[in-house]
Chain A
Amino acid sequence: SYELTQPPSVSVSPGQTARITCSGDALPKQYAYWYQQKPGQAPVLVIYKDSERPSGIPERFSGSSSGTTVTLTISGVQAEDEADYYCQSADSSGTSVVFGGGTKLTVL
């Protein structure tokens, strides 16, 4: 079955830039999406179609794609950004939805 691979954890100091990667063989042809999940809360969409930002999401959140890897970048990280982040896409057919294993962002 198709898989998306994320690093388990990323740590940054406040004000620095955090980059969270997600790798998958179908990503050159399939859009990726990113969700932020804080403890005890439902996930929130922060990036859609690789690099689009929903209304209400701060500009410090951005997304990019290169080959089989997509990247969520958080510029000027704030303490409130500490959360789990999940990428999501689908297999080459587009019909089987897949989430990555999640990355815990720690703000030091």
Chain B
Amino acid sequence: QVTLRESGPALVKPTQTLTLTCTFSGFSLSTSGMCVSWIRQPPGKALEWLALIDWDDDKYYSTSLKTRLTISKDTSKNQVVLTMTNMDPVDTATYYCARTLVVTAQQPVYFDYWGQGTLVTVSS
């Protein structure tokens, strides 16, 4: 059974750095084709993909946010960590981690299992 769970602070102040942890079970991030992504959703708005890390430790970031994001993994702990610097109130959102599968190198990845999400509010 595949499960993912996000954890991190519910409230951060503007300019602070956000650190979120995704703890998963039911699959291994060492398996070829396996990845974990972070996706966010501001209240009442659409989903936005943020970052992905794959089984080979390759990392991919949203073009618009890549200067602020860092994704990393601890395979032994089954955890993926996302940091986002210089937080702003517009970054208020529910942040999801999702198991991500590769189809082929030139085709889009997709998300077959999602965590329940964690709401992060940015406010002073």
A interface, CB within 8 angstroms of B: 1, 30-33, 35, 37, 42-45, 48-49, 54, 86, 88-90, 93-102
Which one of A1, A30, A43, A101 contacts B108 once the chains associate, using CB atoms below 8 Å?
A: A30
Q: How close is B33's CB to chain A, nearest CB, in angstroms?
A: 14
- Judge whether B55 is part of the interface by a CB distance below 8 angstroms: no
B 59-75 to A, binary, CB cutoff 8 A, 1 in contact else 0: 01011100000000000
Which residue among B37, B48, B107 has the maximum number of chain A CB atoms within 10 Å of its CB? B107
Mostly, the B contact residues are loop
Query: What residue of chain A has the Cβ atom nearest to residue B47's Cβ?
Result: A99
- Tell whether, in the assembled complex, residue A96 and residue B63 are in contact, meaning their CB atoms are under 8 Å apart: yes
Query: Count the B residues whose beta carbon is within 8 Å of the partner chain — how many?
Result: 24
**Cα distance, A93 to B104, chains bound together (Å):** 12
- Tell whether, in the assembled complex, residue A94 and residue B105 are in contact, meaning their CB atoms are under 8 Å apart: yes
Which residues, 12 to 51 on B, are CB-close (under 8 Å) to A? 37, 46-49
B interface, CB within 8 angstroms of A: 37, 46-49, 52, 60, 62-64, 96, 103, 105-112, 114-117
Given A31-B108, A33-B108, A94-B105, check contact A102 B46 (CB 8 Å).
yes
- Tell whether, in the assembled complex, residue B110 and residue A45 are in contact, meaning their CB atoms are under 8 Å apart: yes
Cross-chain pairs A/B with CB under 8 angstroms, 6 sampled: A30-B107, A42-B115, A86-B46, A97-B49, A97-B108, A99-B49
Which residue among A89, A95, A101 has the maximum number of chain B CB atoms within 10 Å of its CB? A95
Known: A97-B49, A99-B48, A101-B46. 19 other contacts (CB 8 A): A1-B64, A31-B110, A32-B108, A33-B110, A37-B47, A42-B114, A43-B96, A43-B111, A44-B114, A45-B110, A48-B110, A54-B112, A88-B111, A90-B109, A93-B106, A95-B60, A97-B109, A99-B49, A102-B46
- Tell whether, in the assembled complex, residue A94 and residue B47 are in contact, meaning their CB atoms are under 8 Å apart: no
